[in-house]
Amino acid sequence: MISRHGDYEIEESRARFQFSRVHAWLRETYWAHDIEREKVERAFANSALIVGAYLADEQVGCLRVVSDKTTFAWIADVYVDEPHRRKGLALAMTRFALAHPELQGLRKWMLGTRDAHPVYAAAGFKVVDKPQNLMWLSTSTWDRR
């Protein structure tokens, strides 16, 4: 599946994915700070869907979906390279994932964000109405900051 967003292509090809570039981006984020490349590659390899945004042959964004492809999906690792931000690419990649034929009929989609609520709200996401129903367990020391 491929879609266009202005001059950009949004697609799911694993062959086109540039892991060295994605790793460099993610290791600088607040959610995956200093992550090892092997973990990035393994996380994307084991995801139900990976999405890339491309301008010509250059990858400029990424997103992955963790899902059982039946009931639930979690959008993770959404990133757009700095020079390509504010062009709607994060929203375009999110909508691409939501429309993907293998992910239709799910009961629930979720994601976590510290600073991009308006992007995901434009795709239909809402703040969790009953956060008291959610729990989490972190085994990472950087999550405890």
The domain total for the chain is 1
Could you tell me the pLDDT band of residue 85, with boundaries at 50, 70 and 90?
very high
List the single range of 19-33, 45-59, 130-144 with lowest mean pLDDT: 130-144
> Can you tell me the mean pLDDT for 58-65?
98
DSSP 7-40: TEEEE--TTT--HHHHHHHHTTSSSSTT--HHHH
| pTM metric for this prediction | 0.92
Task: Provide the token pair at 103.
Answer: 């992910």
Query: pLDDT at residue 17 above 70?
Result: yes
Decide: 5 and 92 in contact? Cβ < 8 Å.
Answer: yes
> Can you tell me the mean pLDDT for 49-54?
98
Helix (H, G, I), strand (E, B) or coil at 85: coil
Could you tell me the pLDDT band of residue 136, with boundaries at 50, 70 and 90?
confident
Give the CATH number, domain containing residue 70.
3.40.630.30
Segments forming the whole domain that contains residue 102: 2-144
